[in-house]
């Protein structure tokens, strides 16, 4: 049984200098779309992370985003549908984007045109950014072992429920507000309190689960919450990070983590791509804690 993994570029498997991990794991990506005013870019095709951050600082327009198109998704399915028995198409949380819904439609379009082509499974990661990207990596690893799509999805679901914890904080909550991810009331309350929010994803939606005074204390609190949620299983935890012009702060934090928890494994520090950064802003820091994950 051969299975191809496809995801959208909000998976943020982005490394420094605009390198990515998609190629290493043979994951096909489909671009999300980013707009500055009336100029539209396809993420990773003509707007890589470095270019996005440059535009953020130079443009007078606040960026907006749109999901992968049905046409682009269909093209990806047709590219691989005759080569593989099954395709798993993994997407940004359906509560945050229409990418999942477009993939469902593209699947129907594909099957009408290619009734004997690969069977397509569309999977809602209920995550965003590199936490979602880690799911795509795990799926690709399982596919390489020869497992079929249903078994892979079962294992991904179990991993999400038991071995994967995500917390993040943002420098300026105006990005969440302007990106439509925070109500006006919560925005003004957060600005008034002047604290660092601790956020997570629950059922695919952004939820506030705490706050910190100062970045250092906030990151410490996020780590404590992650460890607690994984039963304090220090020896089996891997920490992964996502930065948005915050790599120095994360490196300093990793140094402190290694002193306090020398047995915790440290994974990659990814770069937040333009699709998600449009909604969280520069200054975002994400901590992902996993068990049963290896690169």
Would 3-162 and 164-290 be classified into the same CATH topology?
no
> Which tens digit of pLDDT belongs to each residue from 93-152?
999 999 999 999 999 999 999 999 999 999 999 999 999 999 999 999 999 999 999 999
Cβ-based neighbours of 241, under 8 Å, separated by 6 or more? 250, 254, 267, 268, 269, 270, 285, 286, 287, 288
Grouping H, G, I as helix, E, B as strand and the rest as coil, residue 49 is helix
Average pLDDT of the residues of the chain: 93
Residue-wise pLDDT for 44-78, tens only, equals 999 999 999 999 999 999 899 999 999 999 999 99
Query: Does the domain formed by 3-162 have CATH 3.40.50.10170?
Result: yes
pLDDT at residue 150 in the model: 98
Name the pTM for this structure. 0.94
Please give the Cα distance from 176 to 186 (Å, whole number): 10
Instruction: Reply yes or no on whether the pLDDT at 154 is more than 80.
Output: yes
Question: Looking at the domain covering 164-290, what would its CATH class be?
Answer: alpha beta
Cα(86)–Cα(105) distance, integer angstroms: 17
The pLDDT, as a whole number, for residue 208 is 84
Please, are residues 31 and 43 in contact by the beta-carbon 8 Å criterion?
Answer: yes
**What does the pLDDT read at residue 193?**
46
pLDDT of residue 179: 52
The confidence score (pLDDT) of residue 183 equals 45
Domain-by-domain residue ranges, the chain? 3-162, 164-290
Q: Per-residue pLDDT tens for 220-247?
A: 999 999 999 999 999 999 999 999 999 9
Task: Report the C-alpha gap between 103 and 70 in whole angstroms.
Answer: 7
The Cα–Cα gap between 278 and 176 comes to 8
* Sign of the alpha-carbon torsion through 284, 289, 292, 295: positive
- Cα–Cα nearest to 225, from 251, 247, 246, 207: 207
């Amino acid at each position: 049984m051969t299975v191809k993994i496809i995801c959208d570029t909000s998976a943020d498997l982005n490394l420094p200098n605009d390198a990515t991990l998609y190629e290493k794991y043979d994951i096909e990506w489909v671009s999300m779309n980013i707009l500055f005013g009336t100029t539209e870019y396809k993420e990773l095709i003509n707007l890589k992370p470095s270019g996005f951050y440059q535009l953020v600082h130079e443009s007078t327009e606040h960026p907006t985003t749109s999901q992968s198109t049905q046409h682009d998704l269909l093209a990806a399915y047709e590219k691989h549908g005759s080569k593989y028995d099954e395709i798993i198409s993994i997407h940004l949380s359906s509560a945050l984007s229409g990418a999942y819904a477009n993939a469902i439609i593209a699947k129907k379009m594909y099957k009408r045109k290619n009734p004997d082509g690969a069977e397509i499974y569309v999977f809602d990661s209920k995550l965003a950014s590199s936490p979602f990207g880690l799911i795509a990596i795990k799926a690709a690893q399982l596919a390489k072992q020869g497992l079929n799509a249903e078994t892979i999805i079962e294992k991904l679901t179990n991993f999400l429920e038991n071995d994967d914890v995500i917390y993040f904080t943002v420098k300026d909550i105006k990005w969440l507000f302007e990106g439509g991810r925070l109500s006006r009331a919560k925005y003004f309350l957060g600005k008034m309190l002047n604290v660092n929010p601790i956020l997570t994803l629950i059922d695919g939606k952004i939820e506030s689960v705490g706050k910190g005074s100062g970045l250092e204390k906030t990151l410490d609190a996020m780590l404590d919450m992650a460890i607690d949620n994984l039963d304090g299983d220090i020896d089996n935890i891997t920490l992964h990070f996502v930065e948005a012009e915050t790599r120095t702060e994360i490196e300093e934090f990793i140094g402190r983590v290694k002193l306090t928890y020398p047995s915790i494994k440290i994974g990659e520090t990814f770069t937040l791509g333009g699709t998600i950064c449009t909604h969280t802003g520069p200054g975002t820091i994400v901590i992902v804690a996993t068990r049963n994950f290896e690169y």
